[in-house]
Amino acid sequence: MASLSTSSLSFKAPSVQSTRTSQVLRKPLSFQPISFGRFQSSKNLRLQISCAAKPETVQKVSDIVREQLALSADTALTAESKFSALGADSLDTVEIVMALEEKFNISVEEADAQNITTIQEAADLIEDLAQKKPAA
């Protein structure tokens, strides 16, 4: 069941009795149809949990961004730092993606590359591509 108020959105998972945690985690959670004011959803809502990239990956991406944009050591970079806010134009972003491909030995599709706007997005994409990459 899901409910929405003007200040919060909350989900309540179906009750699970005497089911081992590992069995629960293997199956996506399903919720019953939900209502948002006058809007009634007739579809089941699915919740997918994904983890953010490892801190080491975020740090490596930050280092590459710092180098590619020639940022000083005192420039604060966080996972939420937007390339555009750091002064990157479209060519800089392409160069960042190329450096990431070389550093992590991955290939980023053009459509994915165009969706990278922050250090966190880049790190998440790298880890996603690394997981999908066949073992050498």
Domains of the chain by range and CATH? 55-132 (1.10.1200.10)
Q: Is 89 a catalytic residue?
A: yes
What local confidence, expressed as pLDDT, does residue 99 receive?
Answer: 97
Distance CA 123, CA 59 (A): 9
What local confidence, expressed as pLDDT, does residue 18 receive?
Answer: 39
What local confidence, expressed as pLDDT, does residue 43 receive?
Answer: 59
What local confidence, expressed as pLDDT, does residue 113 receive?
Answer: 93
Query: pLDDT tens string for the chain (136 positions)?
Result: 444 444 444 445 544 443 343 344 444 555 555 555 565 555 555 554 455 789 999 999 999 999 999 999 999 999 999 999 999 999 999 999 999 999 999 999 999 999 999 999 999 999 999 888 776 6
Which of 89, 92, 124, 128 is catalytic? The answer is 89
What local confidence, expressed as pLDDT, does residue 78 receive?
Answer: 95
Distance CA 60, CA 81 (A): 14
Q: Contact 58/126 with Cβ under 8 angstroms?
A: no
Q: Contact 104/87 with Cβ under 8 angstroms?
A: no
What local confidence, expressed as pLDDT, does residue 133 receive?
Answer: 78
Distance CA 69, CA 75 (A): 11
What local confidence, expressed as pLDDT, does residue 131 receive?
Answer: 87
